[in-house]
Amino acid sequence: MTSLIHTYLTNPRKPDFVLQPNSCDAHCHIFGPSNKFPYLQERSWTPVDAGKEELFSLHDFLGIQRCVIVQTALHGFDNSVLVDAMQMRKGRYLGVALASAKTTSEKIAEMDHQGFRAIRFNFMAHLKNNDSIEDILALTNRMEPFGWHLQVHFSSDLVHYLTPLLRQSSVPVVVDHIGRVDASLGVNHPDFQGLLKLLDDPLFYVKVSGVDRISKNHPYDDGVSLAKMLVDEFTDRCVWGTDWPHPNHHHIPDDGNLVDLIPRIATTTEKVNKLMVINPEKLYRFT
């Protein structure tokens, strides 16, 4: 665990696409710095620190004014690294926590005041989840009075198993990274079709982040095609994110390139406005 892994470019290119005011990066992370916010001992890898200063600098460079930071498994249920960052840009930076499905209403109220708007649960082989789906659904009953939502990260094949269960949620459900489908398999693959079926239910939102994950190489044409289809069909329930600093990836994408994908995904000014400003403003309760 002594070898540090780089997960982001320190010199991304300046994007050609100019973002609208109040555009939101609705999915990114913070790693450390580990001397102030230690990583879990039981981790399988250690990143080069990517703290709030690096994130703020990236967003200022890209023209991003709002942000939703998602707690990383490297910090576990200690969400203090996010609280610290949210306080620095209060009102413009909000958070998605990692927490137990046993989290109480009192704790949710405290976290809501801090700027959290959701709890994320992972259903991925490399990310441990010890909560049952029954306990997660029970948690949504306690989340509902606060206007929170449930964020889920699952491997694409699990969409078929999880769909009838997640439809029992008392709060909206946000699906990460285009359902982690394999874009090379195309629009007719059962997993992407399962995602479309899930999104037919107005309870569900999807993050058209991770185009660079579901595709093999830039310019990510096959991933862009799927993301565009989602934005075209579910314009009011899509949000976008960089996923900086790109953990557990098959390459390190250039964040400038990711911004320049936006007009290929959302092909009208109205769709860009909904994807980048209106939808995250509503979902995360920006003021």
Residues with Cβ within 8 Å of 150's Cβ and at least 6 positions away in sequence, in order, are 118, 119, 121, 136, 139, 140, 143, 166, 169, 171, 172, 173, 174
How far separated are the first and last CA of the chain, in Å rounded? 42
- Rounded to two decimals, the pTM is 0.97
For 128, other C-beta atoms within 10 Å of its C-beta total 10
In terms of Cα–Cα distance, which of 99, 82, 5, 97 is closest to 44? Answer: 5
- What pLDDT tens digit does each residue of the chain (287 aa) get? 468 999 999 999 999 999 999 999 999 999 999 999 999 999 999 999 999 999 999 999 999 999 999 999 999 999 999 999 999 999 999 999 999 999 999 999 999 999 999 999 999 766 567 899 999 999 999 999 999 999 999 999 999 999 999 999 999 999 999 999 999 999 999 999 999 999 999 999 999 999 999 999 999 999 999 999 999 999 999 999 999 999 999 999 999 999 999 999 999 999 999 999 999 999 999 98
Q: Which two tokens stand for residue 254?
A: 């250039």
For 42, other C-beta atoms within 10 Å of its C-beta total 7
* Helix axes 159-166 and 190-199, enclosed angle (nearest 10): 10
Count of residues making up the chain: 287
Q: CATH number of 4-9+16-284: 3.40.50.300, 3.30.2130.10, 3.30.450.190, 3.20.20.140?
A: 3.20.20.140
Q: What is the C-alpha to C-alpha distance for residues 278 and 281, in angstroms, rounded to an integer?
A: 5
User: Got the DSSP string for 184-231?
Assistant: GG-TTSHHHHHHHHHHTSTTEEEE---HHHHSSSTT-HHHHHHHHHHH
For 203, other C-beta atoms within 10 Å of its C-beta total 17
Domain ranges of the chain: 4-9+16-284
Q: Which two tokens stand for residue 39?
A: 């990583």
pLDDT of residue 125: 63
Q: Which two tokens stand for residue 124?
A: 């991925």
- Residue 91, Ramachandran bin (φ over 0: left; ψ between -120 and 50: alpha; else beta): left
- 91-116 per-position pLDDT tens digit: 999 999 999 999 999 999 999 999 99
pLDDT of residue 1: 46
Say if strands 4-5 and 93-97 run parallel, antiparallel, or are unpaired.
unpaired
Question: Which residues are annotated as catalytic?
Answer: 243
